[in-house]
Structure 1
Amino acid sequence: MSEQPKKPLPFVANFAAGAIAGVSEILTFYPLDVVKTRMQLSTEKSQGLVGSFRTIVKEEGFGRLYRGLVPPLLLEAPKRAVKFAANDFWGKTYLGLFGEKKMNQSISLLTGCSAGATESFVVVPFELVKIRLQDKNSTYAGPIDVIKQIVRKEGVMGMYNGMESTFWRHLWWNGGYFGCIFQVRAMLPEPQTQQATLFNNFVSGCVGGCVGTMVNTPFDVVKSRIQSAPKIPGVAPKYNWTYPSIALIAKEEGIGALYKGFVPKVLRLAPGGGVLLLVVEFTLGVFRQALGPPYI
């Protein structure tokens, strides 16, 4: 009797796994994101990771490290779900388009970039609210107040301020992340146990998160600068389009300024990338056991 062909898990399983992973990651690493944003918005000499932590806690209290948590927490479920669901969709699409049966490095990189571009359209309003709340000079009462003031002063489309820079940030991060995951997995020993599989996923996710962060940090710095400044009618913003803004920051503050906030960012996204992949794969494994054959 021939073995029943295996089927990929349904979209809802990939969506749920990404959502659970995203919420787990942000609850663990959010204070690093606040410090990262503060460092990116400052045009002065950086205090460093520890100095920035100390300054925030001393001057504003420990609770400030969780300022703006609600928007990204609300965002993380759909954001991460879209990330992994889009990666799954684009991976299958490109495999069929290029007539390949197995993923390779080129298709993995292309898939990651496409997933990042897809994800960027979902995250912009949430990122905008988060950045406005994380700013040291923020006077907003909370997320709803941010939305009300932006819509009143800048119109509904003001909620998509920074769309172009967010597109590039997510495209390059996802390309580096998913591209590295494929390569690192291929280099690691073939896992023989479930524990070894989870370890390989964590290691490859950490490396992917580190590389993705190295590639996309300049785009993240620009995005933070663009989204932190409200648009004033008739006044051209200092930071507007991504690549000219990168050149401007490098000219005025030096190349190193494009990597402001890199340390807290990589400390979050390297292990955070590992946590993401670990939780996603673990959750998908639970779905496979629950659904049984013929799912893989």
Structure 2
Amino acid sequence: MSNTEKKTLSPIYSITAGTIAGISECLVFYPLDVTKTLVQLQKGSEAKQSTFNVLKSIFKKGVAYKGISSPLAMEGFKRSVKFGATTEFKKFYNRINPSFFKENSVAVNVASGITSGIIEGFIITPFELVKVRLQDPLSKFKAPKDCLQHIISKEGYFKLFTTGLEAGALRQSVWNAAYFGSIPLLKSVILPKDLSKEDPKYDQKMLFSNFLAGTIGGLLASTINIPFDVVKSRVQGATTSEAKALYSSNTISTIFKIAKSEGPKTLFAGWTPKVLRLAPGGGLMFLMFEGMMSFFKKLNNIEE
């Protein structure tokens, strides 16, 4: 992409493309998010159900989409930041040091992903807190509004925005860094070196490349960041004074605490449903984002 193109295509397009990509992924894969949270909330000596038993159970109980209004409201904004802010931060870092942060390089993708992830952490915390409390099998809340009012009245506005903030920001930053950082490398391997727009199957090959790179990137990112995800679920799911005290340490200390008391395997609780969602979900998001950006470029007469 040339400098002229970058100036011509407004940031609103990457924000819009990210919003559409995120909402699409959420609607398709949300039951796996419910499953992941329930698996992560199982702890200690409790009888732990397998991922597929939990997934089957939530559909049987009719709660596969429980709490979706909160993340759905969040998802558009969250993904607009993930893709829109990452796209803009790439330009920012490239302007600061074009020799190190080369266009679409691993370095610029990792740096911009970390930065946008920190911003995401601040955005998602209240929504994630409500979602986790609603997904808890012991939850007595019937709707997000009831849960929100309870948190504000019992814990205060401040806790609404800070409970799980550190773990959430780390989770998003690590995920974004691994996801966006790996995609350029993956696409360079997947796409034939001699591929040109004259190739009659150019569009199909690009679609396949975007989906496969996004899927593998989602798998990698979800595996690397899951310990932070477990901590976030535990911190936000803690409602008793004992539980809150147990997870009052910083995120890194809590990771070691969980590993020591429950075993390192616990830090990867929920890996299966998380990967089942965010591997193909990562592919779907990247495919949708790239497809929408391509459409917007054609709409604005910009060559890719």
Sort the TM-score into its range (normalised by shorter chain). over 0.9
Asked whether 1:42 is paired with 2:50, we answer: no
| Matched letter for residue 183 of structure 1 | L
Deviation string for 1:56-83 (max 9, x for gaps)?
345xx1x211111100111110000011
Asked whether 1:237 is paired with 2:245, we answer: yes
Q: 1:229 to 1:209 in 2, by over 3 A?
A: same
In structure 2, which of residues 270, 277, 293 is the aligned counterpart of residue 284 of structure 1?
293
Q: Percent identity?
A: 39
In structure 1, which of residues 200, 219, 241 is the aligned counterpart of residue 228 of structure 2?
219
Name the structure 2 match of 1:165.
167
CA–CA distance in 2 between the matches of 1:152 and 1:69?
Answer: 23
Q: 1:37 to 1:99 in 2, by over 3 A?
A: same
CA–CA distance in 2 between the matches of 1:223 and 1:135?
Answer: 14
Name the structure 1 match of 2:30.
30
Name the structure 1 match of 2:84.
85
Instruction: For residue 187 of structure 1, report the CA deviation from its aligned partner.
Output: 1.6
More displaced stretch, 118-127 vs 284-293: 284-293
In structure 1, which of residues 247, 259, 263 is the aligned counterpart of residue 256 of structure 2?
247
TM-score, normalization by structure 2: 0.90
| Matched letter for residue 194 of structure 1 | D
More displaced stretch, 3-12 vs 274-283: 3-12
| Matched letter for residue 118 of structure 2 | A
Name the structure 2 match of 1:65.
64
* Alignment RMSD (CA, Å): 2.0
Name the structure 1 match of 2:180.
178
Q: Is the 8 A contact 2:238 2:244 kept in 1?
A: no
Determine helix, strand or coil for the equivalent of 2:134. Answer: helix
Q: 1:4 to 1:92 in 2, by over 3 A?
A: closer
Residues 140-155 of structure 1: matches in 2 within 5 Å? Answer: 140-155=141-156
Determine helix, strand or coil for the equivalent of 2:247. Answer: coil
CA–CA distance in 2 between the matches of 1:106 and 1:284?
Answer: 22
Determine helix, strand or coil for the equivalent of 2:133. Answer: helix
Determine helix, strand or coil for the equivalent of 1:6. Answer: helix
Q: Is the 8 A contact 1:95 1:103 kept in 2?
A: no
CA–CA distance in 1 between the matches of 2:36 and 2:144?
Answer: 20
Instruction: For residue 231 of structure 1, report the CA deviation from its aligned partner.
Output: 6.6
Instruction: For residue 132 of structure 1, report the CA deviation from its aligned partner.
Output: 0.5
Instruction: For residue 135 of structure 1, report the CA deviation from its aligned partner.
Output: 0.5
Name the structure 2 match of 1:257.
266
In structure 2, which of residues 280, 284, 289 is the aligned counterpart of residue 275 of structure 1?
284
Deviation string for 1:84-103 (max 9, x for gaps)?
11111111111111123523
**Structure 1, gaps ≥5 residues long:** none
TM-score, normalization by structure 1: 0.92
Determine helix, strand or coil for the equivalent of 1:140. Answer: coil
Determine helix, strand or coil for the equivalent of 1:86. Answer: helix
CA–CA distance in 2 between the matches of 1:262 and 1:45?
Answer: 18
Q: Is the 8 A contact 1:154 1:231 kept in 2?
A: no
| Matched letter for residue 38 of structure 2 | R
Instruction: For residue 158 of structure 1, report the CA deviation from its aligned partner.
Output: 1.6
**Displacement over 6 Å in runs of 4+:** none
Asked whether 1:197 is paired with 2:196, we answer: no
CA–CA distance in 1 between the matches of 2:69 and 2:269?
Answer: 24
Q: 1:208 to 1:248 in 2, by over 3 A?
A: same
Deviation string for 1:242-269 (max 9, x for gaps)?
1111111111110000000000000100
Q: 1:11 to 1:42 in 2, by over 3 A?
A: same
Instruction: For residue 45 of structure 1, report the CA deviation from its aligned partner.
Output: 4.8
**Structure 2, gaps ≥5 residues long:** 197-201
Q: Is the 8 A contact 1:46 1:260 kept in 2?
A: no
CA–CA distance in 1 between the matches of 2:117 and 2:271?
Answer: 20
CA–CA distance in 2 between the matches of 1:145 and 1:288?
Answer: 43
Q: How many residues align?
A: 289
CA–CA distance in 2 between the matches of 1:85 and 1:124?
Answer: 19
